[in-house]
Amino acid sequence: MLGKTVARHTSEQFVAFLTDVVASQPKRREIHAICDNVSSHKTQRVADFLDAQRNVHLHFTPTYSSWLNQVENWFSRIQREVIARGIFTSVKDWDRKLMPIHPRTQQEPETDQVEI
């Protein structure tokens, strides 16, 4: 899992994140990203990036189905373990306190099974 905190969630920030993802992977590796339906994931800037990076594929969760979205589950974990217990003096302070949980999810992955 790759993570990054940003002040605003814009298509420019999203494309910058996707660019970081591509740079971190071997050339031509197929990259599949599961996204929610926020408008910044569906702009012309994102479409242009995807046209240039044919190995990157976005998949969107169904609208109004946050319970299917593993990122939403991760945000819930952040809420419980970091935000609810913390006092933050700045965005930089929040980022410093948030990022230690990120590598832990790499070593201690959790999976959720959903029956439909």
User: Collapsing DSSP states into helix, strand and coil, what is residue 30?
Assistant: coil
Q: What angle do CA 11, 27, 5 make, to 5 degrees?
A: 35
Question: And the tokens for 49?
Answer: 């990036």
- Chain segment 27-61, per-residue pLDDT in tens: 989 999 888 888 999 999 999 999 999 999 999 88
| Among 33, 27, 29, residue whose Cα is nearest residue 1 | 33
The mean predicted confidence, pLDDT, of the chain is 79
- The pLDDT of residue 15: 96
Tell me: the pLDDT tens digits for 78-107?
777 777 777 888 878 877 777 776 554 444
pTM for the full predicted model: 0.63
CA neighbours closer than 13 Å in the CB half-sphere of residue 66:
6
pLDDT band per the 50, 70, 90 thresholds, residue 113: very low
CA–CA separation, 58 and 81 (whole Å): 29
